Amino acid sequence: MSAFYEIANYWGVAILLLVGLHGMLARPNLMRKLMAMNIFQVAVILFYLSFAEKTGASTPVAPHGLLHPLAADFINPLPHALMLTAIVVGVGTTGVGLALLVSIYRRYETLEEPELLEKMRRENA
Amino acid sequence: MRSLSWIAVLFTGVVLFYTAPSLPPIGDPESPASSHVSPYYIENSVSDMATPNLVTTVVTDYRGYDTLGETTVIMTAGLACLLILGFWTPMRRHPTETDRLSFGSPVLDAAARLLVPYILLFALYVLFHGHHSPGGGFQGGTLLAAGVILVRLVRGRDCGWGVDREQAVRLACSGAFLYYAVGLITMLMGHLFLDYSKLPLPLTAAMRRNMGILGVEIGVTVAVAGTMILIFDCLHATPHEDREAEVSAERAGAEGHT
């Protein structure tokens, strides 16, 4: 068990995650859903970067000439590496999402979910 | 529907706030995340591949397969954007007058002219110095694309140094292919896929790995830059109605000729 203040980052992450989740589930606007998905993703990225931290360690770049760095002197590079790729993949998913939204808007001229469903129902009837 | 989503959010919140205290405290060097593979990465990467930036070595060498997959995913995302939007909008050869006038102003123009060379230079620095300082392929690629996209935003979409949508597709695919090619070269030498120490170069094993990382990083840069430009181009291509108007105008012109 950790004390409340020792994991302060995680409370922030939890709040961001809930904001994202709520936005994705409850908002009727598709554009806002996509933005909420990005907030959700930022929460996950912050979570990973938080547990990469080590007290008293520096950035994971070894100084010039140091052949055998000690594990305690540098923060964990693995979550940083994973999140580096995750950010770029996040841009990719956002791009595809935006492309889908653009093509939905061109066809139905709305991004509000109730209106969109109504228009689709009328089209099918 | 509304209340249902509130129930889901509340449930997740309760679970998160109930389980968070059992996580190890932030900054604990003995936490599980920092005590299995990561000490090996930190202690051996400089002697293994002569690369002081530990994040670069983890991304491109220790977890090279992972990054190979990520690069492929990014390329696929760019192509998916093209498939969703691109076929409805033509790849225009001749820009119209509105394309040139739709963006920009003298202030933006002067600022962009000043900024873009430095952005591109910084992108190359971030790529090639990524072995020794924070940076690498993904960051360099995004910066390269940012330079090109800035020019497009300010000068209109016809101005992008010949990097049109077709060119961006070629960039994205050839970057991903470069990554695969480095792996295939080591395979053709009779060794494991992506084992950079077996590259046919007259260097020590550590320096060969260093060069392998550089080749892979260049591939990632090209793929990311191409994909970013491709996504941007697809998203701000001509709207559907304009396309219809264009087609009908072309048809009217063709009928006029016959």
B34: Cβ contacts below 8 Å, ≥ 6 apart? A51, A52, A54, A71, A76, B28
> In the structure encoding, which two tokens stand for residue B235, read together?
């998203």
Tokens representing B36 are 């299995």
Residues from chain A that touch B27, judged by Cβ atoms under 8 A, are 53-55
Domain ranges for chain B, please list them. Answer: 55-85+101-237
Cβ neighbourhood burial of B142 (10 Å; 0-12, 13-18, 19+)? buried
**Of B34, B46, B73, which is closest to A92 when you measure between CB atoms?**
B73
Residue B251: the pLDDT is 64
Nearest C-alpha neighbor of B51 from the set B220, B197, B230, B167 = B197
Of chain A, the percentage scoring pLDDT greater than 70 comes to: 98
Q: In terms of C-beta distances under 8 Å and separation of at least 24 residues, what long-range contacts does A26-32 make, across chains too?
A: A26/B2, A26/B5, A26/B6, A26/B9, A28/A112, A28/A113, A28/A114, A29/A111, A29/A112, A29/A113, A30/A101, A30/A104, A30/A111, A30/A112, A30/A113, A30/A116, A31/A101, A31/A111
CA distance B25 to B33: 12
A92 and B227 within 8 Å at the Cβ level: the answer is yes
Residue B108: predicted pLDDT: 84
What is A5-55+74-124's CATH number?
Answer: 1.10.287.3510
Q: Is B16 in Cβ contact with A18 (below 8 Å)? A: yes
Residue with tokens 């008293």: A56
ipTM of the complex: 0.87
Extract the runs of DSSP E, i.e. beta strands, from chain A: none
Q: Is B41 on the interface with A (CB under 8 A)?
A: yes
pLDDT given at position B92 = 52
Task: Determine the pLDDT at residue B174.
Answer: 95
Q: What is the pLDDT of residue B233?
A: 84
Q: Are A86 and A38 in contact (CB under 8 A)?
A: no
Q: What's the CA gap between B220 and B224, in Å, rounded?
A: 6
Tokens of B20: 């968070």
Instruction: Find chain A residues with C-beta within 8 A of B234's C-beta.
Output: 95, 99
CB pairs under 8 A between A and B: 194
The one-letter amino acid code at B104 reads G
Chain B residues 178-217 with a CB less than 8 Å from chain A: none
Which chain A residues contact residue B45 at CB under 8 A? 62
C-alpha span between A90 and B59 (Å, rounded) = 17
A18-60 pLDDT, tens digit each: 999 999 998 889 999 999 999 999 999 999 998 888 888 888 8
Residue B33, pLDDT score: 84
- pLDDT at residue number B26: 85
Angle between helices A77-108 and B64-85 (to 10 degrees): 10
Instruction: Output the pLDDT for position A54.
Output: 87
CA B15 from chain centre, in angstroms, equals 35
- Please give the full DSSP string across B111-134, using - where no structure is assigned: HHHHHHHHHHHHHHHHHHTTTTSS
SS3 B49: helix
Write out pLDDT tens, residues B38-61: 889 988 888 888 888 999 999 998
Q: How far does the CA of residue B257 sit from the closest CA of chain A (Å)?
A: 32
Per-residue pLDDT at A17 exceeds 90: yes
Alpha-carbon gap: A53 to the closest alpha carbon of chain B (Å): 5
Q: Average pLDDT across each block of 10 residues of chain B; the chain has 258 residues. List them in order.
A: 86 92 84 86 87 90 90 93 74 53 72 92 93 89 92 72 81 94 90 87 89 93 94 74 57 60
Q: What is the pLDDT of residue B86?
A: 67
